């Protein structure tokens, strides 16, 4: 099912192609208005995003999603993958990068952070499946001045400090349970401080010296029997931390004070995960698992009331749980707030215009699974990248290079390049009230390959926009709206679609898979009908489309396994600009790629606005 660009996606049932319903005219008008506001006013982002395929970030704890960080020193993206932190240099479009571990570990990191000068800290949990024994890992003890009850519980919280430039990594353990969040800050040329949230209700404050010695300087209990999930330091006041956990509160803490806790803000929302300070040091945000983001001003916290509350797009659903929030960097106007949902969506909030009357008038980036399929199709069509192949067969190779691809048509050669066929930025109201599952059961379908011979006679097809019967399948393009920018796909279903002709149609192949799929094959039947068809000789992949039949079944299975057709998100970050008004929004996807949008700095400098009536 191909996703059109200018009309809402239309459902396709087995053996039947359904065209857009003319009765939905008013719904379509609202949809068009949504994209007129985005594509013609460009309030937030530039319209030419890129997707870095084959990054394959890993999520090692289902709730911890702050796993995408930007390293300004190396102009690279840091992310978790298996038992290591990887680094992805941000090169030119189309540039391939063979990935290698940046910081190697002997356990699965659940969280990590880095300093501006390249130091990295990681947190995790010691389990029986880790590659080392607990007896080989140093246990850190708080100083005698810190009172702590006697405990026989083994220390399971893992913490690693790494200096990749020196090739040094040190791992210690402290805390009774998993370390959920870590943060590191450079205090002087020879000293760093790190803060660690543990499930044992304690916030650990660490001193890290230049010789890599690590010691616990303070241990703070914010609230008894409350697992701590996230910590963030105020950029202008190093004695102020914001901490959240599995409770209804936000804790403001002074890590250098004996009393430690400054204020407890009761929010009414349970399980806080992402906290961020604005570069001005006054505003801060906290997000909660019920899909609420609260904005506060430190200068005016009265009766625990926030300035604003921003809600999820899927009310009452775990998929919409908020996990991370970030403010745009200081040298880029600092006027955007991004909020990560658990699956597939990132909110873009304009702080300049935000008030109680328009809190829901913001936009949301949706990251469909079809985008990763599109990147694979485009990589196959363009051929090998560097010394590696880009075929579907080796897409799980960890040494396969990444590739930056344009989501929409290549600006240098738009006529001969593939293009994704749906917008990725939507109005909040459209997702909540009109089309909450717009990518459910959809996948990317490439356009037909060019004719094999230029001498073949032209064939004219008369579109039947309203035809839904079987007779329309052979008469012309199926299910293509006259208002869409989708290129029509012509194919006949009379022949076996398992066979690759010179003009394969992915819809036909997947329809064949759907009709012949055996969900419970007997033990004596190792191959399905599709596998037998796929074993027939096929054209080489030089055409860019010849390999589709070989993984049709896998493609179908992947698309239905992704919830609502959207990808699990590993994190979101701003790319600090090299110059003013040049930042990017980076969105990492689990076991997939990284989506990058340029922030439209030129438009952001203008406070004017307009809407289509």
Query: What is the Cα 542 distance to its own chain's centre?
Result: 31
Name every residue whose Cβ is closer than 8 Å to that of residue 414 and which is 6 or more positions away in sequence. none
pLDDT: is 122 or 150 the higher one?
122
How many structural domains compose the chain?
1
- Looking at residue 509, the DSSP 8-state letter turns out to be H
Average pLDDT over residues 466-481: 36
**Three-class secondary structure of residue 14 per DSSP:** coil
145, part of any domain: yes
Query: Quick check: 198 pLDDT over 60?
Result: yes
CA atoms within 13 A on the CB side of 365: 28
How do 138-139 and 168-173 pair as beta strands?
parallel
152, part of any domain: yes
Query: Quick check: 166 pLDDT over 70?
Result: yes
Q: Crossing angle for the helix pair 552-561 and 369-382, nearest 10 degrees?
A: 150
Return the percentage of the chain with pLDDT > 90, whole number: 46
Average pLDDT over residues 415-425: 83
355, part of any domain: no
d(CA 112, CA 203): 16
177, part of any domain: yes
The residue segments making up the domain with residue 149 are 105-182+201-207
Q: pLDDT value at position 26?
A: 34
Q: pLDDT value at position 393?
A: 39
Query: What is the Cα 119 distance to its own chain's centre?
Result: 24
110, part of any domain: yes
Token pair for 535: 């074993």
124, part of any domain: yes
Tokens 């094999």 found at: 452
158, part of any domain: yes
Q: How many Cβ atoms sit within 10 Å of the Cβ of residue 393? A: 11
Average pLDDT over residues 208-215: 89
- Per-residue pLDDT of 45-64, as tens digits, reads 888 899 999 999 999 999 99
Q: How many Cβ atoms sit within 10 Å of the Cβ of residue 595? A: 25
Range name among 27-31, 90-94, 492-496, 568-572 with the lowest pLDDT average: 492-496
Q: pLDDT value at position 159?
A: 98
Tokens 């290698």 found at: 100
Average pLDDT over residues 554-563: 49
Question: Which class for 485: exposed (0-12), middle (13-18), buried (19 or more C-beta within 10 A)?
Answer: middle
CA distances, 354 to each of 3, 250, 336, 337 (Å): 32, 22, 10, 11
Name every residue whose Cβ is closer than 8 Å to that of residue 126 and which is 6 or more positions away in sequence. 107, 134, 137, 155, 156, 157, 158, 173
If phi over 0 gives left and psi between -120 and 50 gives alpha, with beta otherwise, what is residue 484? beta
597, part of any domain: no
Q: pLDDT value at position 146?
A: 76
Question: Which class for 31: exposed (0-12), middle (13-18), buried (19 or more C-beta within 10 A)?
Answer: buried
Strand (E) or helix (H) holding 28: helix 25-41
Q: Among candidates 281, 322, 374, 302, which has minimal Cα distance to 595? A: 374
Return the percentage of the chain with pLDDT > 70, whole number: 65
Q: Crossing angle for the helix pair 552-561 and 506-516, nearest 10 degrees?
A: 80
Q: pLDDT value at position 390?
A: 38
Per-residue burial over 555-594, b if 16 or more Cβ lie within 10 Å, else e, is: bbeebeebbbbbbbbbbbbbbbbeeebebbbbbbbbbbbb
φ/ψ (deg, to 5) at 378: -70, -40
pTM reported for the whole predicted model: 0.76
When pLDDT is cut at 50, 70 and 90, the band that residue 529 belongs to is very low
Strands laid side by side in the 322-327 sheet: 322-327, 336-341, 345-350, 363-366, 425-427
Q: pLDDT value at position 276?
A: 98
Q: pLDDT value at position 414?
A: 65
CA distances, 360 to each of 255, 267, 276, 509, 598 (Å): 36, 20, 20, 41, 23
- Per-residue pLDDT of 603-612, as tens digits, reads 777 655 555 5
3-state SS, 413-456, equals CHHHCCCCCCCCEEEHHHHHHHCCCCCCCCCCCCCCCCCCCCCC
């Amino acid at each position: 099912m191909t996703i059109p660009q200018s009309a809402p996606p239309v459902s396709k049932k087995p053996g039947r192609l359904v065209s857009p319903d003319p009765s939905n005219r008013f719904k379509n008008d609202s949809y068009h208005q949504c994209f007129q506001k985005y594509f013609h006013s460009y309030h937030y982002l530039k319209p030419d995003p890129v997707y870095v395929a084959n990054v394959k970030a890993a999520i090692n704890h289902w709730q911890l999603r702050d796993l995408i960080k930007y390293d300004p020193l190396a102009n690279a993206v840091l992310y978790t993958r298996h038992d290591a932190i990887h680094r992805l240099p941000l090169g030119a479009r189309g540039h391939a990068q063979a990935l290698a571990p940046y910081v190697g570990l002997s356990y699965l990191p659940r969280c990590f952070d880095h300093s501006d000068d390249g130091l990295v800290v990681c947190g995790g949990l010691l389990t029986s499946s880790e590659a080392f024994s607990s007896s080989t890992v140093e246990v850190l003890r708080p100083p005698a001045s810190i009172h702590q009850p006697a405990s026989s519980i083994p220390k399971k919280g893992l913490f690693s400090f790494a200096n990749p430039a020196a090739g040094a990594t040190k791992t210690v353990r402290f805390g009774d349970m998993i370390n959920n969040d870590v943060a590191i800050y450079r205090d002087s040329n020879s000293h760093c401080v790190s803060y660690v949230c543990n499930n044992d209700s304690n916030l650990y404050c660490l001193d890290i010296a230049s010789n890599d010695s690590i010691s616990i300087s303070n241990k703070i209990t914010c609230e008894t029997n409350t697992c701590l999930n996230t910590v963030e330091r105020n950029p202008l006041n190093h004695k102020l931390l914001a901490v959240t956990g599995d409770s209804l509160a936000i804790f403001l803490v002074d890590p250098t004070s004996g009393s430690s806790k400054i204020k407890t803000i009761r929010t009414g929302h349970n399980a806080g995960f992402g906290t961020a300070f604005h570069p001005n040091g006054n505003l801060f945000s906290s997000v909660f698992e019920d899909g609420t983001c609260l904005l506060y001003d430190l200068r005016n916290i009265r009766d625990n009331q926030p300035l604003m509350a921003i809600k999820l797009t899927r009310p009452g659903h775990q998929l919409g749980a908020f996990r991370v929030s970030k403010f745009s960097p200081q040298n880029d106007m600092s006027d955007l707030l991004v909020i990560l949902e658990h699956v597939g969506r990132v909110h873009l909030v304009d702080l300049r215009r935000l008030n109680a009357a328009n809190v829901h008038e913001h936009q949301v980036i949706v990251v469909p699974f079809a985008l990763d399929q599109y990147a694979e199709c485009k990589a196959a069509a363009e051929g090998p990248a560097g010394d590696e192949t880009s075929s579907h067969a080796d897409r799980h190779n960890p040494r396969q290079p990444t590739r930056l691809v344009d989501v929409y048509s290549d600006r240098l050669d738009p006529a001969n390049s593939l293009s994704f066929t749906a917008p990725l930025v939507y109005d909040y109201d459209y997702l909540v009230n009109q089309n909450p599952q717009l990518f459910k059961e959809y996948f990317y379908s490439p356009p037909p390959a060019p004719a094999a011979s230029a001498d073949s006679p032209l064939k004219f097809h008369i579109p039947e926009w309203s035809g839904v019967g079987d007779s329309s399948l052979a008469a012309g393009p199926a299910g293509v709206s006259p208002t869409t920018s989708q290129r029509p796909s012509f194919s006949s279903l009379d022949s076996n679609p398992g066979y690759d002709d010179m003009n394969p149609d992915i819809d036909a192949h997947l329809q064949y898979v759907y009709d012949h799929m055996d969900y419970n094959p007997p033990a004596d039947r190792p191959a399905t009908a599709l596998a037998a068809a796929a074993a027939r000789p096929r054209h080489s992949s030089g055409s860019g489309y010849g390999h589709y039949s070989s993984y049709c079944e896998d493609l179908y299975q992947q698309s239905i396994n992704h919830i609502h057709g959207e990808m699990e998100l590993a994190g979101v970050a701003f790319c600090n600009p090299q110059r003013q008004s040049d930042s990017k929004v980076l969105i990492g996807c689990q076991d997939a790629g990284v989506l990058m949008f340029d922030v439209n700095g030129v438009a952001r400098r203008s406070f004017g606005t307009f809407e289509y009536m």
